[in-house]
Every structure is written in C-alpha cells, then in structure tokens.
A and B are shown apart, each in its own frame.
Chain A
Amino acid sequence: DTEVTQTPKHLVMGMTNKKSLKCEQHMGHRAMYWYKQKAKKPPELMFVYSYEKLSINESVPSRFSPECPNSSLLNLHLHALQPEDSALYLCASSQGPGQGGYGYTFGSGTRLTVV
C-alpha cells in the first residue's frame, strides 16, 4: 500500500461546528504532516509528527488541534473556524527523521469550506 488516504474529501462546516479530518497511511512512514493550501499557492506547513510525537507546530491557531493516535493515523480536529480557514487540507507522510528529503506522499486532500 503506497498511498495516503484522507477523509472526508469535501467538508462544509459552520463557524460553531466541531469536525475532524482523518488521514491514514500504511507505508511504515514515521513522519506525518498537515498542510494547508490556498488556491494557486504552494502548501503551507501546519504540523509535523515524528514517531507519533508533535515536533513542529507552525504557529497554528488553537482552533486547529492535531492528534496522532498511532503510527498510521493522523487527525486534525477543527473547532470554531473562520471563513478564511477555507482551503484544501493535505496530509502527507515521509520516512523517519532525516528522510524527508526523499519525498513526501500526499493524500488527495480535504476541501474545507467554512460558512
């Protein structure tokens, strides 16, 4: 299995809702990432998990809360989002520490719309 699976594909949520994005990989990769991507822009790093521990939080607002239940799963919990948070949210994985330079495998993303 050489892919990263993200669910849901599309999500529309109100500003008072709580929702979660899910990501799963079975490649044995030990680093997992959440990225946010706006239209016609490159991905922006949000969080990095290395060996199931949060190693990077790129000053992301607390309304985004990541969770890594095990080495294959990554969640992003959403609460009280703003319309400007609407974007494509991408999950990615790579081999362990120092191996990010050998390429990331991205999921197909969750298109999030906040209304």
Chain B
Amino acid sequence: TQLLEQSPQFLSIQEGENLTVYCNSSSVFSSLQWYRQEPGEGPVLLVTVVTGGEVKKLKRLTFQFGDARKDSSLHITAAQPGDTGLYLCAGSSPMDSNYQLIWGAGTKLIIKP
C-alpha cells in the first residue's frame, strides 16, 4: 500500500516568516500535486510536478519534486495571512491505470498578522 507522509500536520507562524512542508514516501510517483483548501471549499490545485528534481515557482511558493520522485516539498517565503489554509499533497501512482490519488494527511497552516 502506498503512503504519503506529510509534515508538519499543523504550523502556526508570524507573517513574514518562511516555512517548508514535506511529503515523503517509500514509493515512486509518476507525478505529485499540491492543493490548498479553505474551510468549506474544495481543494484548489496549486501545481503538479512530474519530473524528478523539478522545481516550480508560484510567486512566493516554491515546489520541488525529489530526484527519485518519492518526495516533494513546498516552501513559502515571507508568509502572508492570505496563505492560511489546509495544504494537501497527492501522488499519482505509475502502477495505477485508474488515476487514483494517494493523499497526504494535510498541513493546517495559520499565518498570524
């Protein structure tokens, strides 16, 4: 059974600080996606990483896919209160022809003004 371990589960920091969220697995993924979810809303796709070692930037957010495609990180620079939300990573298995996603447990992020 494939698992994605996401850490930390909860993070509360001051505005302007930097932070990193990690997703790790012992399994290889064909791609990994990061979502942000606000209370009562559906997850919104932030980025998909596909190639080992790939780095993508979205304004102050930097996403990295591990060389072996088993792990990924999300780094936020100078966090803003608007970054508050639940961050979810989800991996797509190369062995799965039905395109199911393996989900991390989520990171609840609170940015205090």
Q: Is A42 an interface residue (CB 8 A)?
A: yes
Tell me, in angstroms, the Cα distance from A101 to B97 when the chains sit together: 11
Nearest A residue to B102 via CB reads A42
Interface residues of B (CB under 8 A from A): 30-31, 33, 35, 40-45, 48, 50, 86, 88, 90, 92, 97-101, 103-106, 108
Tell me, in angstroms, the Cα distance from A97 to B96 when the chains sit together: 10
CB distance from B37 to the nearest CB of A (A): 8
Tell me, in angstroms, the Cα distance from A98 to B95 when the chains sit together: 11
CB distance from B48 to the nearest CB of A (A): 5
B43 near A97 with CB under 8 A, answer no
Per a CB cutoff under 8 Å, which of A31, A42, A108 touches B88?
A42
CB distance from B93 to the nearest CB of A (A): 9
Nearest A residue to B105 via CB reads A42
B40 near A106 with CB under 8 A, answer no
**Chain B residues in 8 Å Cβ range of A102:** 31, 48
Interface residues of A (CB under 8 A from B): 4, 6, 31, 40-43, 45, 48, 50, 55-56, 88, 90, 92, 94, 97-109, 111
With A31-B99, A40-B106, A45-B100 in contact, is A109–B45 under 8 Å at CB? no
B31 near A101 with CB under 8 A, answer yes
Tell me, in angstroms, the Cα distance from A43 to B104 when the chains sit together: 10
CB distance from A91 to the nearest CB of B (A): 8
**Chain B residues in 8 Å Cβ range of A41:** 105-106
Most chain-B CB neighbours within 10 Å: which of A88, A100, A105, A109? Answer: A100
Per a CB cutoff under 8 Å, which of A40, A45, A105 touches B101?
A45
Give 19 A-B pairs besides A55-B98, A102-B31 with Cβ atoms closer than 8 angstroms: A6-B42, A41-B105, A41-B106, A42-B106, A43-B43, A43-B103, A48-B100, A56-B100, A98-B99, A100-B92, A101-B30, A101-B48, A101-B92, A102-B48, A103-B45, A103-B48, A105-B45, A106-B45, A109-B42
